């Protein structure tokens, strides 16, 4: 039997995270405001919409971060950005049919919790005025414990937050200092307790492996501490060292980063411990308590994947608001202008800020479905593929059969479908890449697969 260590060597090449297909490096400037408007106009009665709001500011810059954000110690740029965001919300709101219901909202960043409490209420008010929210819409916010105080806790509860999402990374002090992310266990516990006391029943925590000076021992201690807080979901991500894309990551000493084998041991330890304490593995990097909606969706085959990672969202479309945010509609993807100054100029003129994207072709839809199923369920059903895509599915089925024949240690294939073997589950990104016809076209550099 092939060991996971052997598979780790086999799948050593960097590959995309597959939060979309085609992936963002293949977006082009042929998709702009007019195209985005036409796609939004196609949303109609009975369809559901998810919204993402990007706050691209932090009052400290974490050196491991690969998000579109900037450091500021002044609130004036944030306040000015919010006014521009209001323009975009109003413009998009006029384009979306009132018959389209918003079932999910996520505030990300950056640090949304650095907003002043009154601005949290204002932002939520603009969104509710512009869009038709379902009564049971899920509202999640990324939280930085260093930003939070009693007034902000109350404001978050007041705007209807249903899920608190906290980045933890690692509680070891040396690791935290090296990535410029000081955050104690006590601070984290306080945030979770404060939100739960205000009726927020769902908590998500993010952990990272592969950080500088991180070891099996620091990983084990952090996992033990997190489990003691009993978050409903835990995301276990591999640190993506991409200094060619995010220059501040050059501040992290590369010689302090664990090698591929050490990264894999850290991931395996954390995943094994979480499974032993009652968390169910969701895809390649999420874990959830059995009663959590993400775990239920995974068991029912309803797990999805989008730019926020794994989700149980059933929305037909996702619209991103704010600089750099990405939207996903049935017709394709677009991304907003990343530069905040230019983004502000565009939306304040009454236009959208879409500057690049890609329209989906029939083959893209087929391969996107296959890649999502591999990422979410470690395989796909041949019957379902043919039912959805007809004769076009035969090309993928033939590719899967050929790959399984050449790589019997990785997967199985028969007339019913294609499935990874259990020991290959952590390498689903690499297997998904087999079906990516864009990957060899020379655009984009990617992070380690595990």
Question: Which parts of 300-433 fold into alpha helices (H)?
Answer: 340-348, 362-377, 382-389, 393-406, 428-432
Question: Looking at 304, 335, 359, which one is the last position of a domain?
Answer: 359
pLDDT given for residue 427 in this prediction = 93
Give domain status of residue 55, yes or no.
yes
6: in domain:
no
The predicted pLDDT at position 127 comes to 98
CATH number for the domain that contains residue 425: 1.10.10.920
Q: Which of 337, 359, 381 is the last residue of a domain?
A: 359
Are 355 and 366 in the same domain?
no
Same domain for 96 and 209, yes or no, is yes
* Per-residue pLDDT, 129: 98
Q: Is residue 21 part of a domain?
A: no
Q: Which residues of the chain have pLDDT under 50?
A: 444
Same domain membership, residue 405 and residue 352? no
Q: Do 243 and 373 fall into the same domain? A: no
Query: Is residue 258 assigned to a domain?
Result: yes
- Rounded-to-integer distance, Cα 277 and Cα 65, Å: 29
Number of domains in the chain: 2
Same domain, 378 and 278: no
Given 340, 359, 378, the domain boundary residue is: 359
| Residue 256 neighbours by CB distance under 10 Å | 13
Judge if 114 and 160 occupy the same domain: yes
pLDDT at 315: 95
313 and 394 housed in the same domain: no
d(C-alpha 335, C-alpha 333), whole Å: 7
Same domain membership, residue 271 and residue 211:
yes
Can you tell me whether residue 384 is helix, strand or coil?
helix
**Residue 18 domain flag:** no
Q: How far apart are CA 256 and CA 179, in angstroms?
A: 11
The answer to whether residue 446 is domain-embedded is no
Does one domain contain both 352 and 367? no
Both 351 and 386 in one domain: the answer is no
The reported pLDDT for the residue numbered 22 is 96
Is 9 domain-assigned? no
Query: Does 258 share its domain with 376?
Result: no
Whole domain around residue 304: which residue ranges?
26-359
Read off the tokens for 18: 């597959």
397 domain residue, yes or no: yes
In a shared domain, residues 162 and 213? yes
- With vertex at residue 214, the alpha carbon angle to CA 285 and CA 276, rounded to the nearest 5 degrees, is 45
């Amino acid at each position: 039997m092939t060991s996971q260590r052997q598979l780790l060597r086999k799948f050593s090449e960097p590959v995309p995270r597959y939060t979309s297909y085609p992936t963002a490096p293949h977006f082009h400037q042929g998709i702009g405001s007019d195209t985005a408007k036409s796609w939004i106009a196609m949303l109609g009665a009975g369809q559901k919409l998810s919204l993402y709001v990007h706050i691209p500011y932090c009052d400290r810059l974490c050196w491991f971060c690969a998000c579109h954000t900037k450091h500021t110690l002044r609130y004036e740029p944030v306040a000015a950005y919010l006014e521009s965001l209001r323009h975009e919300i109003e413009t998009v709101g006029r384009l979306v049919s009132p018959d389209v219901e918003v079932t999910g909202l996520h505030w990300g960043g950056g640090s949304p919790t650095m907003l002043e409490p009154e601005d949290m209420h204002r932002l939520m008010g603009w969104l509710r005025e512009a869009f038709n929210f379902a009564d049971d819409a899920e509202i999640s916010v990324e939280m930085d414990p260093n930003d939070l105080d009693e007034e902000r806790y109350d404001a978050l509860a007041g705007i209807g937050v249903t899920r608190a999402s906290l980045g933890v990374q690692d509680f070891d002090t040396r690791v935290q200092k090296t990535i410029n992310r000081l955050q104690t266990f006590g601070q984290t516990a306080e945030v979770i307790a404060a939100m739960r006391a205000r009726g927020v029943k769902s908590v998500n925590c993010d952990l990272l492996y592969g950080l500088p000076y991180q070891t099996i021992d620091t990983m084990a201690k952090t996992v033990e501490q997190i489990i003691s807080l009993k978050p409903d979901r835990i995301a276990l991500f591999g640190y993506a060292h991409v200094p060619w894309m995010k220059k501040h990551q050059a501040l992290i000493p590369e010689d302090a980063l664990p090698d591929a084998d050490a990264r894999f041991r850290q991931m395996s330890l954390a995943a094994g411990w979480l499974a032993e304490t009652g968390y169910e593995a969701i895809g390649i990097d999420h874990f959830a308590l059995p009663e959590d909606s993400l775990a239920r969706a995974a068991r029912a085959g309803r797990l999805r994947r989008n730019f926020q990672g794994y989700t149980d969202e059933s929305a037909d479309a996702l619209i991103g608001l704010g600089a750099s945010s990405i939207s996903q509609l049935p017709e394709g993807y677009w991304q907003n202008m990343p530069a905040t100054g230019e983004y502000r100029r565009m939306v304040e003129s009454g236009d959208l800020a879409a500057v690049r994207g890609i329209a989906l072709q029939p083959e893209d839809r087929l391969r996107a479905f296959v890649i999502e199923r591999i990422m979410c369920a470690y395989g796909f059903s041949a019957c379902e593929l043919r039912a959805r895509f007809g004769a076009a599915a035969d090309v993928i089925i033939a590719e899967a059969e050929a790959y399984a024949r050449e790589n019997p240690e990785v997967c199985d294939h028969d007339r019913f479908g294609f499935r990874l073997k259990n020991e290959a589950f952590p390498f689903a990104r690499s297997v998904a890449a087999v079906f990516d016809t864009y990957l060899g076209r020379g655009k984009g550099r990617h992070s380690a697969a595990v």
